[in-house]
Amino acid sequence: MDQLLVALDVDTAADARALADRLRGVAGGFKIGSRLFTREGPGIVEELAGRGDRVFLDLKFHDIPNTVAGAVAAATRLGVWMLNVHASGGSAMMRAARDAAHQEAARASRPAPLLIAVTMLTSLNQQALSDIGVIDGMAAQVGRLAALTEASGLDGVVASPHEIDIIRRRCGRQFVIVTPGIRGATDVKGDQSRTMTAAEALASGATYLVVGRPIIAAHDPRAAAERIASDCRSALTS
């Protein structure tokens, strides 16, 4: 299922490789985030990309434009399929990231990776937003950052499923929306506060879903992924 990206939030390359081997064919790609990357480095990214897996490198770069451009160029050289920066890093930073991805991909004669921006982390709620000094509501802030992302030439955003509607209204049908915060009705929410089921998120217009613990912490990860993929297929055909 193309739309289902599984977060390989594990500590070792061996665990990541084992999960990828079990989930290949059901998952449409694998997300490697700061936990695994900090522990194992770029080798596991290159390894999975080298076997043809779509790798979403979720390091959420957030720094001055020159530094982010260098990091994005390095990630592009690893062969990632998708990567991200924080939209709150601003337009100059996002444009520098986009230019770096395109230039590096052209140099390596490969397609540019999808470059998306994080709007607001899905673990944040309204109170957390006001704690960091954002006085607008969540939807307004997400809409503003999504519009800035599109104007900066990026391909899309990461956002809670609850914000898909406002993003679609501001950014149009081609804009990629990647949604974490996916939980089944009976799943533990953990630190995610704005959740939806996979089928609901797709029906609402998400382009890709990122699912971590409901799959990787399941007794049988492949069966859990198959269940979610099958829910997604029903949502897409109904």
- Where do contacts with ligand C5P occur on this chain (CB under 6 A)? 7, 9, 33, 58, 118, 121-122, 158, 180-182, 190, 192, 210-214
Return the number of other C-beta atoms located less than 10 Å from residue 22's C-beta. 18
SS3 of the chain: helix, strand, coil, percent, to 5: 50, 15, 35
Task: Give whichever of 34 and 66 is closer to ligand C5P, judged by the CB atom.
Answer: 34
Cα dihedral 133→139→141→145 (10° resolution): 150
Please tell me the distance from the alpha carbon of residue 164 to that of residue 123, in angstroms, as a whole number.
16
Task: Give whichever of 104 and 117 is closer to ligand C5P, judged by the CB atom.
Answer: 117
194 close to 122: Cβ distance less than 8 angstroms: yes
Task: Give whichever of 93 and 182 is closer to ligand C5P, judged by the CB atom.
Answer: 182
Find the residue with minimal CB distance to ligand C5P.
Answer: 212
27 close to 232: Cβ distance less than 8 angstroms: no
175 close to 157: Cβ distance less than 8 angstroms: yes
Tokens coding 171: 């950014």
Please tell me the distance from the alpha carbon of residue 174 to that of residue 7, in angstroms, as a whole number.
24
Distance of closest approach, residue 2 Cβ to ligand C5P, in angstroms: 18
Distance of closest approach, residue 9 Cβ to ligand C5P, in angstroms: 5
Distance of closest approach, residue 206 Cβ to ligand C5P, in angstroms: 13
CA dihedral sign of residues 16, 48, 184, 142: positive
Task: Give whichever of 83 and 118 is closer to ligand C5P, judged by the CB atom.
Answer: 118
Task: Give whichever of 111 and 137 is closer to ligand C5P, judged by the CB atom.
Answer: 137
Distance of closest approach, residue 175 Cβ to ligand C5P, in angstroms: 16
Please tell me the distance from the alpha carbon of residue 148 to that of residue 98, in angstroms, as a whole number.
13
- The set of catalytic residues is 60
8-state DSSP, 64 = -
Distance of closest approach, residue 150 Cβ to ligand C5P, in angstroms: 17
